[in-house]
Each structure stands twice: as structure tokens, then as C-alpha cells.
Amino acid sequence: MALNLASITARSFGSKLPQVSSVCVRYKSDKEQHEPKHDLINRSRVRGIDILRNPKLNKGTAYTLRERQLMGIHGLVPPCVRTMEEQKIRVLTENVEQMMPIVYTPTVGLACQQYGVVFRRPRGLFISIKDKGHIYDILCNWPERNVKAIVVTDGERILGLGDLGAYGMGIPVGKLSLYTALGGINPAKCLPILLDVGTNNKKLHDDPLYIGRNQKRVTGQEYDDFIDEFMQAVARRYGYGCLIQFEDFGNQNAFRFLEKYRNKYCTFNDDIQGTASVAAAGVFASLRITGKKLEDNKFLLLGAGEANIGIAQLLVLAMTESGIPVQEARNKIWLIDSKGLLVKNRPNHPVTGHKKDFAKDFKPMTNLEEIVNELKPTALIGAAAQPGAFNENVIRSMAKHNARPVIFALSNPTSMAECTADQAYSLTEGRAVFASGSPFPQYNHNGQIFHPGQGNNAYIFPGVALGILTCGIRHVSDLVFLRAAQKLATLVTEDHLKEGRLYPPLNTVQDVSLKIATDLAEYVYKNNMASAYPEPADKEAYIRSFMYDAEYESFEPETWDWPDN
């Protein structure tokens, strides 16, 4: 007879086995999302140590004495029996502010850099260029059949740390942890994927612990065909409603794939669209401090890549939505790339691609301090992974031209930030309106405590993903990200602003995500962008009913509805 929990129980307790008649396996709000554990145990015949190795079943020290005996794990966990309340002091969802720097930036960056050393057991799915032609089969190896959200990277631009190849797996894993912790999305529905097409990082080629393919990156048609096959395989395996979040691809591929796939699949690029949304929200909130209208600003963006081009485009969309002509809106946004200010007819380094929309009829310039003093921007936004680029002179110049200079240092991880919170506040006599991509500690300015805002797309993608999945948004337009930004900005209170915050406190992000998703639901149903019908009357209750509840289920027989097999 095959071993299942019923037989284990019978074996362990013999005739003393308690009669189990009542039906109370606790179904959570969404049956489809919350598979009852007894099914899982019976189907997979897990017992003993394998129960502890299965994250769906593991309760750590929370098993009752009885469960430990029934399941063959007595002695495999320490003798203390803890309640979830007692365990929770360590859990991410309940301690976002303290835990996020560990599962997310900056620590996730360090973890990726040292992935070979810290690698113990695999997480997520690795699909290599050698698997071309068989990607669907590899997806079938993933144990969950009903995946709803994928975060995928090819590891080429991991935060501001460059090409980390297969070590980049830490990013999809970290992002999807936030899908659950901040967006309430069931972890069993989430799949992190690393597409290994090689790496151009010489250090990794020489690293004996490197876990990826030791070859140069495959590019060109072969690479494009590989990504095409991946997209088709995901849709075939998990349906066209499965959300695919592109993360930390190289610049030259990120924009191309967004254009290529945005109307064919349910997909978005977090570095372009998610970042744009969180930065725009910070800008909207800052207007309440500076007293300016959006269009009264002059923006100077250091870096003209995924993050800053995305930000520039979304700010333009925001202005045009309020009636400003496109060109007029673009004129208010100036960008700098590695070759200097984006100007027309730039000698030796012509401005190309999306950057051309923002190139000005102006003289070429390269020195940031000089550019700030020439243009006198109201807001300076950095996303160039150039640590310290906002040096003392640059920050003082911003302070000279503005009563309340808006300064965002968005590059990640912390080591890549354009300036620290301390520098932004101290060099502007506490007048800076500051946000950063990675967290900085609070700053005491003559007794006034500032809480620097974390301008990170983590405020956006969990809520947007929740909205996409629950409403069945098939194609994720930029208007969705604008709407999310507007909603996020409304959640910043006057008290938050007084404390220097441009975003609600991190500990409220799960609620923020629910509010963003609910607001998106109102928007997408009104604008025929939803495909989940019937339209729920109470959208918040509807979305809340999908949110993952991490509470433990009891494995004790009295609380089981025993399957017949």
C-alpha cells in the first residue's frame, strides 16, 4: 500500500486512531489559490524530513506535539512549540521596513554577486540557450501547474552592478518574495526564471563557483528566437493571462522587448514602467511641498536608460493628460547620458532611439555642476549607477536655485546611489525633498527627523500585478502605471510630508498595494481593459479575497476531512 498520511496515522496509532468525521480543512477565501494541504500530502506522499523541506508544509516550530508524531517529524524540529504570533517577529510581511533590505536592495545585490558561494539549493527555473527548442518541456518540470506570475531576467543589468549572468537569479526570487509579502500574491503562483544566454563578465568566466554557462552572451537572431520561444512556451503552459515581468535586462533589449511583446502578451518591464511610476508618484507628492504645478518644473535626469527614459515618458504622459501639448511637456525634461547632455547634433555621439525625443536645441555640455547652474532645474533625478555623481557642488547648486530642491538618487544598490540622504539634507540645510532607490537611515537635522523616502518600484509592481491578475488585464498600458502613480501619491499624508516622506511608510505597503489594485480595478473596468467577469461590485473585497493568507493549517486528524484513497 502506498504511504500516505492516513496510513501513517493508522500505523502510528493503530486501533487508538481517533475517529475523524468532521470536515474542517480550512479553505481560505479562494479555493483555487489555496490547495488543501491534505491533498498535497496524499498526492505527493510526503512524510518526515520531506515535510520540513517543503515550504508549503513547513511550519518550523509551530507543529503541535501530535502533528510531529503523526507526520514522523518528532525530533527533527527543536522541542519548543511556538505559535505563529511568536514566530511572526521574523516574518517579512509583518516587518517590511526591517526585512526588506535583506530580501531586496541592497542585500539582494550582494547575494547575486556572491551567488556561487551562497548557493545551497536551487530556487526558480534556469533555462539556458542550450535548451532552445525545448523550453516548454523545461517549464513542465516546474512542480506548480497553475503559475500566474513570472519574473524573468537574463542577468545582463542586475541593479547597477552590471552583467551577473546566472547569478542574477537572486533578482526574480527577491522580486517575487515581494509579490507575496507586499502584493499578497500566493507564492505557489509565482515563478522566478533566469534565462542563461551566457555572460560577458570576465570575472564570472574565471569564477570556479559560477553556476551558469561559461560562454559569452549569445546575441542577435539566436537570442531573439530564444526569447520568442520562451514567451510562446509560457503562454502555452500557463495561458495568455500569465503575467511576465521583465526585470534587469540590458538596455538594448529591454526597450525592444517591451515594444515587441506589450500588445501580444500580458507583460511589462519593471525597470522602465514600474520605476517610472514610483518616480512620478514621488514627483506628484513633492508638488505639495514645493507648491508648484507639475508643468512648472524643469527636470534634469542623470542617466538616459531604462529608468530615466521611462520616467521622462511617464511625466510627459502625465502632463499631456492634463492638457499640455507633447512637445511642450518634453521641453521641460532634460537628460544626460554617459556622453553628456542630450542635445541635437551632438558631435561624435549622436543621440539615438527614444532619447531623440528629449534632445534639445542647445550647446553640448558634460559637467553636471555646470549643467545644473546653466539650466537651474527644479528637480534632479539620478538613475545612472554613478555613485557620488551628486557631489557637494552639485547639491549646493541645486540648493542655490531652489527653496526646496527635489533630489532623487534612484540608483541601486546603496553603493551605487548618486548621493546619500545625509548629504542631500546636510548640504541643503534640510531643504532637500529627497528619495532614494535603496534605503537610507533617518536623518536628524537640528532636532528635526527626516525619513527619506524609498523611491523604488517595489511600491508599484506588487499592487499593479495584483490588479492585473485579479481583473484580468491582458495588456498593461502606460496609463495603468500613471494611474498607479497618481493613487500612490494620494496615499501620502500631510504628516508624512512633514517627516520628509514622499511615500507612505514601508510597513503599510501591503495595504498600499491593495489600494493601488482596487483603484486600478475601477479604472480598467470603466475603460474596457479588464477581462475578468462579471465585474465585481465591491472591488476591494473582491481583490482582498484573492490575497494570500499565510496562516498555518492544522495537520491534526480531528481537523481533517480524510480522503478515501
Ligand X SMILES: NC(=O)C1=CN([C@@H]2O[C@H](COP(=O)(O)OP(=O)(O)OC[C@H]3O[C@@H](n4cnc5c(N)ncnc54)[C@H](O)[C@@H]3O)[C@@H](O)[C@H]2O)C=CC1
- Interface residues with ligand PYR (CB under 6 A)? 159, 248, 270-271, 412, 437, 456-457
Residues that bind ligand X (CB under 6 A): 157, 159-160, 251, 271, 275, 278, 302-308, 336-338, 383-386, 410-412, 416, 437, 455-457
Sign of the dihedral defined by the CA atoms of residues 513, 516, 332, 478, in that order: positive
When the beta carbons of 33 and 199 are compared against ligand PYR, the nearer one is 199
247 is in an annotated binding site: yes
Which position has the grid cell 536645441?
361
**Cβ closest to ligand X, residue 397 vs residue 456:** 456
Identify the helix (H) or strand (E) that includes residue 269: strand 267-269
Cα–Cα–Cα angle for 296, 299, 301, nearest 5°? 170
Nearest by Cα to 277 from 486, 435, 454, 438: 486
238 is catalytic: no
First to last CA, the chain: 10
270 known member of a binding site: no
**Which is catalytic among the residues 63, 104, 167, 548?**
104
CB of 248 to ligand PYR, least distance (A): 5
Active site residue 542: no
Smallest distance, ligand PYR to C-beta of residue 456, A:
5
Task: Please report, for residues 355, 368, 433, 481, the alpha-carbon distance to residue 397 in angstroms, rounded to integers and kept in the order given.
Answer: 26, 10, 14, 32
Residue closer to ligand PYR (CB basis): 248 or 337: 248
Rounded least distance, CB 23 to Mg ion, Å: 45
Contact status: 156 vs Mg ion (CB under 5 A): no
Catalytic residue among 59, 175, 515, 539: 175
Q: Kind and range of the H or E element at 246? A: strand 243-246
Residue facing ligand X at closest CB distance: 305
Tell whether 402 is in a known binding site.
no
Question: Binding site annotation covers 457?
Answer: no
The Cα–Cα gap between 308 and 158 comes to: 16
d(CA 62, CA 69): 13
Closest-by-Cβ residue to ligand PYR is 412
Is residue 357 a known part of a binding site?
no
Contact of 254 with 246, CB cutoff 8 Å: yes
Angle between helices 306-321 and 478-490 (to 10 degrees): 80
- Measured from the CB atom, the residue of 302 and 543 that comes closer to ligand X is 302
271 is in an annotated binding site: yes
Q: What minimum distance in Å lies between the beta carbon of 514 and Mg ion?
A: 23
Cβ neighbours of 336 (radius 10 Å): 22
- Taking CB under 5 A as the criterion, which residues in 243-282 touch Mg ion? 247-248, 271
> How many other C-beta atoms are found inside a 10 Å radius of the C-beta of residue 222?
11
Instruction: Pick between residue 232 and residue 251 the one whose CB is nearest to ligand PYR.
Output: 251
Which residues belong to the annotated binding site for a divalent metal cation? Answer: 247-248, 271
List active site positions: 104, 175
Summarize as ranges the residues that interact with Mg ion (CB under 5 A).
247-248, 271
Which residues belong to the annotated binding site for (S)-malate? Answer: 157, 412, 456
